[in-house]
Structure 1
Amino acid sequence: MDAQSYGSKNDRAQSETQHDLPRLLDGAARRAGLDRSEWQIQRKGDEQLAVLPMNGDEPRLVDDYFRHLVSELSHYNGQRTAAARLRLRAAVHHGPVELADNGFAGTAVVVTARLLNSRLLYDALDAHGTADLALMLSDDVFRSTVAGGHTTLRTSDFSRVTVKEKEYESAAWLTVPASSSLPPFADAPPTPADAPPARADAKAHPDGDAGPRGGYHAHQISVTNMSGPVDAHHAVFGFGNTDA
């Protein structure tokens, strides 16, 4: 990961970026079910290089983690001026890595750095002014996760590019995820095809719509009085007043 236009910020804004970046990355990992405490992380101001254990989480990283990161960034940037936005370039590659005396060593680390510093990745973020993240996958990662059908991503979401950086030249896959792909801090709402039909006795909305706004109508509503801690994973709550 690397923050875009970090060098153009003043000292206070750079300090804020260094404070907020790890928090956003941690939040996205938690929401994706990934444990960043298991990652070996090299922190470099506005940049992080993370080495993950080989435990089968690569599809979840490529898919869930970056969707949640886009959501985190969208929420974060929605409360800031254009000049204060935090926009990220990201690259993913896989391969063996060694822990060396001054960081990480290995071809995989070099390839990741070449992808991250590719002019194509800079240009992609510049060309999509409303985007908060541009992501590049190495050809190996793309074929083993997206093309392999191990994620919810489509191959058509990516563009095949050729990265030429220093001594490195290889195919890679580039995408600029839309912030609308996952609403901030919420599960995606049901699509019209999945939403249950409105009840015939549903109360008409003042604007003429039947039932609550947004197109969702519950088949049955259960009221439960609770006291004390509650595990609300995957629960759906409704709030209203006694005059409704």
Structure 2
Amino acid sequence: MRDSDTAYKGADDGRGDHGEVRGDVLATPDLVAVDGVVPKGGAQPVHDRIGGVSLGRPLVYALQNPAHRRATADADREFLVCFPFDLEELPDGRRYEQVTLTVHLADGMHALSLDPAPGTVAADGTEISVFGLGRQRLRWTFRAPGRGGALRPDGRWAQAVVRMPASSTDVSGRVSLSTTTVQPVLGGALRRRAAQTPYDTPFRIRAVEVWTAVTPLTHPGVFPGAWALATYVDEMPESGEREPDDDRLPPGLRRLCLAVDIEKYSARDNADMVWLQRVLLRALRAACERVGVVWEHCGRQAQGDGYLLVLEPDVDETRVVPGLLAGLAAGLAAANKRSVGANSIAGKESSGGNLASVRMRASLHQGIVHEADSGYAGSAVVALFRVLDSDPVRRILAESPDTDLVAAFSDTLYQDLVDTGYEGLSAVGFQKVEIEIAAKNFTAVAWVRAMRSASEG
């Protein structure tokens, strides 16, 4: 074992003063060459930095196993644990040939299933070998296809169904990573370098931070996390218990709502879906931070390929709305720039209409919203999603290949913000569209505009 405790203290790991995880990044350690130089005289070895890795905060979902639905307090529990990570892009024609993710689960835990499974070959030809079924130590190795192949550095993941004893209070363990990189040299030869993270990164997900799965895990190969994402679960009372008789209407507050949806999400493979969800969350959180909106104070509801954000009452809409949209556009532009660079290194072609691009629709509306038992309720939320999913909004995004984001304003929000000429909300570029969904008896007017990041003008 490496001395993880000593090495960890000085690491840029995204943790606070008390070790708690912040955001969706667990740690960002360097990848140090295994063949580093050892000086004479007993001095410390020279650490040759090959690259870096961003280890995502593990996503943990409590499984609803029908056989254990009424399990007693001393019964073991099962969790789906997903480990996402992004590798740093390499310069000078270097590429990743092999990557190994190793997970050491805490004492008493072991893996019931692993995904990707042993012997998996991904759609792009990546070969994956797996070790650790029924064990505490898990390992996934990803190998690039063929002699000249390269592994895409971002959007990688591995997951396991883990059994945990009832005595444990959290899902915890350690994560490390190693790589083999290749660099062309004179004469057509290849120089290979092995590297690894210099310490094991600990993780601990407390019970209060665990998502609850809305459906049982009935078959392997389910793409990570999205099937389990839910903020609420409809739990039936135990036998002999009665649900509390409370038919009072939850408070209704006027809230600004933002909904986003990823274009062509279902056409992606599993790895892309993980990457897209990560891009979506990072872009939303960064956009909120940009305008001083506290993420934890917002109502949030995951939709798999989309997200609902219900902002705090009484936010300054004249400042927050343009800031959120500018932040989202900038986040998408940055993610797509990284994706194009990664595809270029791997020798893949990319274009504006390629699935490599992350493109989104956004819808904004304000109105009375109730925080109900299974999500956010109110005619404002219904109208928000009807506009977001409407044919005119989808068509405008499809007809705007030079942008990553189109935003649809409800008519009332447009009149309040855009018609009055607030800074950052020029009426130039908006299209007025009539939306009619006969099957839902829904009609509305919306104003749609293709958004661009500041760097695009």
The answer to whether 1:25 aligns with 2:284 is yes
The answer to whether 1:145 aligns with 2:404 is no
Give secondary structure in 1 for the equivalent of 2:287: helix
Residue in structure 2 matched with residue 170 of structure 1 by the alignment: 444
Residue in structure 1 matched with residue 295 of structure 2 by the alignment: 36
Q: Does the CA-based 8 Å contact 2:361-2:406 persist in structure 1?
A: yes
For residues 89-128 of structure 1, the aligned pairs below 5 Å read 89-128=361-400
- Distance in 2, Cα, partners of 1:11 & 1:164: 34
Q: Which has the larger radius of gyration?
A: 2
Query: How many residue pairs are counted as aligned between the two chains?
Result: 183
Q: Does the CA-based 8 Å contact 2:430-2:447 persist in structure 1?
A: yes
Residue in structure 1 matched with residue 265 of structure 2 by the alignment: 6
Q: 1:154 aligns with which of 426, 433, 437?
A: 426
Identity of aligned residues (%): 30
Q: Which runs of 4+ in 1 moved over 4 A?
A: none
For residues 23 and 178 of structure 1, do their structure 2 counterparts lie closer, same or farther at Cα, with a shift above 3 Å needed?
closer
For residues 208-219 of structure 1, the aligned pairs below 5 Å read none
Q: What's the CA shift for 1:183?
A: 2.3
- Distance in 2, Cα, partners of 1:17 & 1:162: 30
Q: Which amino acid aligns with 1:6?
A: Y
Q: Does the CA-based 8 Å contact 2:279-2:335 persist in structure 1?
A: no
Residue in structure 2 matched with residue 233 of structure 1 by the alignment: none
- Distance in 2, Cα, partners of 1:167 & 1:93: 19
Computed over aligned residues only, the root mean square deviation of the Cα atoms, in angstroms, reads: 1.6
User: What does the per-residue CA deviation read over 1:175-198, in whole Å, with 9 as the maximum and x for residues that have no partner?
Assistant: 00133xx128xxx9xxxxxxxxxx
Q: What's the CA shift for 1:160?
A: 1.1
Q: What's the CA shift for 1:132?
A: 0.4
Q: Does the CA-based 8 Å contact 1:89-1:121 persist in structure 2?
A: yes
Residue in structure 1 matched with residue 252 of structure 2 by the alignment: none
Q: What's the CA shift for 1:152?
A: 2.4
Higher strand share: 2
Give secondary structure in 1 for the equivalent of 2:425: coil
Higher helix share: 1
Question: More relative contact order in 1 or in 2 (CA 8 Å, sep 6+)?
Answer: 1
User: What does the per-residue CA deviation read over 1:125-160, in whole Å, with 9 as the maximum and x for residues that have no partner?
Assistant: 110112100110000110111112333222233111
Q: What's the CA shift for 1:124?
A: 0.8
Q: Does the CA-based 8 Å contact 2:366-2:413 persist in structure 1?
A: yes
Q: Does the CA-based 8 Å contact 1:145-1:151 persist in structure 2?
A: no
Residue in structure 1 matched with residue 188 of structure 2 by the alignment: none
Q: What's the CA shift for 1:34?
A: 2.1
Q: Which amino acid aligns with 2:309?
A: A
User: What does the per-residue CA deviation read over 1:27-52, in whole Å, with 9 as the maximum and x for residues that have no partner?
Assistant: 12212232222210101111101111
- Distance in 2, Cα, partners of 1:155 & 1:23: 28
Residue in structure 1 matched with residue 405 of structure 2 by the alignment: 133
Q: 1:75 aligns with which of 329, 334, 354?
A: 334
Query: Normalized against structure 1, the TM-score is what?
Result: 0.71
Give secondary structure in 1 for the equivalent of 2:338: coil
- Distance in 2, Cα, partners of 1:17 & 1:25: 12
- Distance in 2, Cα, partners of 1:71 & 1:19: 15
Q: 1:48 aligns with which of 284, 307, 312?
A: 307
Give secondary structure in 2 for the equivalent of 1:83: coil
- Distance in 2, Cα, partners of 1:26 & 1:56: 16
Q: What's the CA shift for 1:122?
A: 0.8
Q: What's the CA shift for 1:18?
A: 1.5
Q: What's the CA shift for 1:59?
A: 2.0
- Distance in 1, Cα, partners of 2:288 & 2:357: 21
Give secondary structure in 1 for the equivalent of 2:420: coil
User: What does the per-residue CA deviation read over 1:101-132, in whole Å, with 9 as the maximum and x for residues that have no partner?
Assistant: 11111100111011100111111111011210
- Distance in 1, Cα, partners of 2:295 & 2:413: 20
For residues 163-242 of structure 1, the aligned pairs below 5 Å read 163-165=435-437, 166-179=440-453, 182-183=454-455
> Which runs of no fewer than 5 residues in structure 1 stay unpaired?
189-244
Q: Which amino acid aligns with 1:52?
A: L
- Distance in 2, Cα, partners of 1:42 & 1:57: 22
